[in-house]
Chain A
Amino acid sequence: MTMAESLPAQNAGERSFGRAAEGDIQRLSFTGSGREYFGIWIVNILLTIITLGIYSAWAKVRRNRYFYGNTILLGRGFEYHASGGQILIGRLIVFAYLVLYNIMLTFVPLVGIGLGVLMLFFVPWLVARGLRFSARVTSYRNVRFDFVGGAGGAFLAFIIGPVLAALTLGILAPLASRWSYRYVGNNLRYGQKPFSTDPPLGRLYRTWVAPAAVLVLGMLIGGFFVFLGVALVNAVAEGAELSSQALQGFTGLLLVLGYLLLFAIFGLAALIYRAGVRNVAWSATSFDGRHRLLSDLSRLRYTWIAVSNLIVTLVTLGLMRPWAAVRMARYVNEHTGVRFEGDVGELLSQIAQEGSAVGAEFMDIEGFDFGF
């Protein structure tokens, strides 16, 4: 028996799906608050310090539960199911491996190098496992996600892709992005139904133009300033009015400034690029072959939020970080949505979970987090 459900739509309490304000796009929303997260955040930090880092696994669980649980689609939140113990075990394994690797590297350099090569070989496998873990500990409406990608795809998407992008000075970055989004998007499942994505290369290159221009322009301006600085140092040195120590200090200051400038230019370009690629890739993704996903971040606004978040966090010695994190989550969620075909209520009452996806033990590999 099917039950017609009343799913609260996000705008004006409309109960009929379909002809809503923007066609039938259902946007995500974020219901968390900076104030509420502040408490979770500071307790996480305090307990992590007191327990010498052990609590950090549980801290991650509480943080993710808060952010997932406040990510709302059609009136219902997502849920994060990992346990602190699972994550701690994963972290301990990685930590033990690193310690072993370093000890080996000092005592038996050959074995250490072997371990390093092994690591490189294993990274794709770890990435695939990490993605699978992250997907399987995420659920929406009592049904979990799943990920079926293998190590080969991960190797192409996360090793070959970035290396290729770096070697070609970013010219092939869109290709790398396409690989990684295809790897994740085509292997993601919800219930028994697949997601599929195919971001067109042309569009990825169109969105790549702006960050590339920022990078080139930034480099030119940066180069000009470096040239100016060097000229200044030389002029001063010629005049020999300043002592060598002061000159050294001055040169050091220039170096630090140049470094900051580089950091800023790369950061800006990366942010603009990331937002643009996300828009293209998400908007080229569909669920179950019918329901289209959508992402319409304003690249400028996204970059501004990220940059101002960083500044505010640094100026307040981290105390405004919870506010910043919530602010970003809210913005990203509000510009992400799904365009459902047909009756949403009916669709969402029919999805069933594959039994096999849950219950087994999986390792969480740090650093390969996969959030929606």
Chain B
Amino acid sequence: MASDGTTIASGEWHPPGSSRSVPASLVERAGHLVVDGESGGELAGGNLHSIEISSRVGRIPRRVTFPDGSLFETADNDAVDRFLTGKGRASEGAIHRLERFHPRLIAFVAAAILLGALIYRSALPLLVEVAIAVTPPAVPQIMSASALETMDRTLLDKSKLDEAKRNRIVEGFRRVASQSARGEAGYTLHFRGGGALGPNAFALPDGTLILTDELVELAGEDTEMILGVLAHEIGDVAHKHSLRQIYRAAGITALLMLVAGDIGSGAEDMLVQGGGLLALSYSRSAEAEADRHSVELMMKAGFDPAAIARFFELLETKLDDKGGTSIFSTHPSTPERRKAILDWIGHERK
């Protein structure tokens, strides 16, 4: 045994590129790190700068790689750490020291949850706004064209409304649309048979509005009511609700992929799906925003701003809708919305 120098740790030594290993010990001698075999004799060595010492992860063996490509491996992590600390290289083990099982980890959990929530609450909306700002107008046009195509093929039928009624609605709609920020040219109204969708109206992001015969029927002679609903849909388009929702869903998925790290593939799938449910809560606030928009537009166009509230009243009586809000509903419950609209009208008229 070479006895000069200080022994750091014992382990196994491999010649370069070989699976053969011999018991050996790591020794510091005359400013060099060397590996001594059991029967004495240096197997490898070099000065500290030319030697690569792997960083510590848990209790897995430490690897010391020498310039000649040979490898010394030891399970004595603590000894290697002590040696490095003595050489003023303690900072290399900083990450491992953070990872050690310690009450401090509770603070890490709290910090991770807090920062995650912070990103979700503030960074995500910001990112969505940036994405909206850089989206070229071609995108909503392509999206809408394909969406209308798809719906026409699957859900919607041809409209069976009589000409007179249709013209009344279109005329009113032009008055309302001309008050909007995008002007009359920004919107086109399509009449369709609702099929499975029943009484409904919806807007596509490029300003294409679709109104079903069933809704017109439900409103009866009250054309203003229909205009109120259409004004609400214009609000949806003006505030870019559908684009925002798509970007939000994409953002949530991206955050999960980027930040979550190792949570298991099953849990990852479930979270991504759950992100869709989270988006619904956003769509409720969007509906309220569109309701307010409807009130403003109707006022400007010289119609009764409460028309949309009448529509909700009608929904309540005709369909006996007194239900509260549930997680699966995209729209706020109707009694709530009516009240909010009437409050807003009062607020606007002040």
Contact partner, A38, options B101, B264, B328, B334, Cβ 8 Å: B101
Complex interface: chain B residues within 8 A of A319 (CB): 109
- Please give me the 3 A-B residue pairs with the lowest Cβ-Cβ distance, nearest first: A69-B60, A252-B328, A353-B17
B221 interface residue (CB < 8 Å to A): no
Contact A321 B18 (CB under 8 A): no
> Is A349 located at the chain interface by the 8 A CB criterion?
yes
B328 x A42 contact (CB < 8 A): no
Q: Please tell me if B340 contacts chain A, counting CB pairs below 8 Å.
A: no
Choose the segment among B112-120, B186-194, B234-242, B287-295 that binds chain A (4+ C-beta atoms closer than 8 Å): B112-120
Q: Answer yes or no: B30 CB below 8 A from chain A CBs.
A: no
B19 contacts A351, C-beta separation under 8 Å: yes
Indicate which residue in B60, B105, B334 contacts A39 across the interface (CB closer than 8 Å): B105
- By a CB distance below 8 angstroms, the chain B residues around A309 are 264, 266
Task: Determine if B63 is an interface residue (Cβ-Cβ < 8 Å).
Answer: yes
CB<8 Å pairs between A and B, sample of 19? A36-B101, A39-B105, A40-B57, A43-B99, A45-B112, A45-B261, A49-B115, A49-B116, A77-B60, A77-B61, A106-B135, A142-B71, A143-B18, A191-B19, A244-B321, A245-B319, A248-B328, A349-B21, A355-B17
Given A39-B100, A43-B99, A142-B17: A310 touches B266 (CB 8 Å cut-off): yes
With a CB–CB cut-off of 8 A, which chain A residues contact B7? none
A106 and B14 form a contact (CB under 8 A): no
B21 touches A142 (CB 8 A): yes
Number of interface residues of B (CB under 8 A): 56
**A45 and B21 in contact (CB under 8 A), knowing A50-B115, A246-B323?**
no
Interface residues as binary, A309-334 with B (CB distance below 8 Å gives 1, 0 otherwise): 11001100011010011000000000
Assess the A349–B19 pair: CB atoms within 8 A. yes
Residue of B nearest to A255 (CB): B328
CA distance A252 to B119 in the complex (A): 30
A44 and B262 contact, Cβ closer than 8 Å, known pairs A65-B60, A249-B326, A321-B267: yes
Asked if A53 and B321 sit within 8 Å, CB to CB, the answer is: no
Most buried by A among B136, B264, B326: B264
Bound-complex Cα distance A263 to B18 (A) = 48
Q: How many A-B residue pairs have CB under 8 A?
A: 174
Chain A interface extent, by class: 35 or more
With the chains together, A66 CA to B95 CA distance in Å? Answer: 14
Q: Is B347 an interface residue (CB 8 A)?
A: no
A49 to B14, CA, bound (A): 39
- Given A65-B60, A349-B21: A39 in contact with B99 (beta carbons within 8 A): yes
The reply to whether B63 and A66 contact each other, CB–CB distance below 8 Å, is: no
Q: Complex: how many Å from CA A223 to CA B172?
A: 48
List B residues at the A interface (Cβ < 8 Å). Answer: 14, 17-22, 57-61, 63, 71, 73, 95, 98-102, 105, 108-109, 111-112, 115-116, 119, 135-136, 138-139, 142, 258-264, 266-267, 269-270, 273, 319-323, 326, 328-329, 333-334
Contact present for B258 and A3 (CB under 8 Å): no
B17/A143 in contact, CB under 8 A: yes
In the bound complex, CA of A185 to CA of B110 (Å): 44
In the assembly, what is the distance between CA of A290 and CA of B334, in Å? 74
Closest to B260 in A: A45
Contacts A49-B116, A350-B19; A325 near B139 (Cβ below 8 A): no
Q: What are the residues of chain B within 8 A of A248 when measuring CB–CB?
A: 328-329
When A66-B60, A69-B57, A245-B329 are in contact, do A267 and B266 touch as well, CB less than 8 Å?
Answer: yes
Known: A106-B138, A249-B328. A41 touches B58 (CB 8 A): no
**A69 to B99, Cβ gap below 8 A?**
no
Q: A66-B58, A140-B19 are in contact. List 6 more A-B contacts (CB 8 A).
A: A53-B259, A243-B320, A245-B321, A309-B266, A318-B263, A352-B18
Chain B residue numbers with a CB within 8 Å of A45 are 112, 259-261
Contact A109 B319 (CB under 8 A): no
Contacting pair B267 A43 (CB below 8 A): no
How far is it, in angstroms, between the C-alpha of A50 and the C-alpha of B135 when the chains are bound?
A: 28
User: Is A46 interfacial (CB-CB < 8 Å)?
Assistant: yes
User: Which chain B positions have C-beta within 8 A of A191?
Assistant: 19
Is the CB of A203 closer than 8 A to any CB of chain B?
Answer: no
